[in-house]
Amino acid sequence: MPHLFLLSQTDGRPIYLQLMEQIKQRIAVGDWKAGEPIPSIRQLAADLQISVITVKRSYLELERAGVITTHHGKGSVVAETSDLRSQIYEEELTKHLHEAARLSGLLGLGTRELQRRVRDAVERLTGIEQVRR
């Protein structure tokens, strides 16, 4: 199984966070399904040419978050959590909303203006004009 991860030293975020995000994304889009084994820590570290400690930290954090389950001596698998996909998308949405609110503040926009812009974006994407509530 190819491990196509794009990790960047210039990203500004630690490598282990980049790796966690990309593993979550793979699960969210269905590339890796519940119960399916994921690459071993050592194999992924070798493939990506990064430290075993970095991959281990990613896996530990993913396990704490309930995204993967690790069976010592047998490796790690995608957790059987039924709403894992929704949970991952929820986290991503929250992250983007926080960033939109931060940028809105930097631009000096009020809450209503930010709401209007979010509503406009939804309307453009869905073509639905009755989003206004």
pLDDT at residue number 41? 95
pLDDT tens digits, 47-75: 999 999 999 999 999 999 999 999 988 99
Distance CA 107, CA 102 (A): 9
Domain annotation covers residue 10: no
| Interval 38-50: pLDDT, tens | 999 999 999 999 9
How many structural domains is the chain composed of? 2
* Full residue range of the structural domain in which residue 61 is found: 15-78
Is 50 found in the same domain as 102? Answer: no
Please report whether residue 62 resides in a domain.
yes
Quote the DSSP letter at residue 12: S
The pTM assigned to this predicted structure is 0.69
Q: What is the per-residue pLDDT for 3? A: 64
Q: Contacts by 13-19 with C-beta closer than 8 Å and gap 24+?
A: 15/50, 15/54, 16/54, 16/55, 16/57, 16/58, 16/61, 17/58, 19/48, 19/50, 19/54, 19/55, 19/58
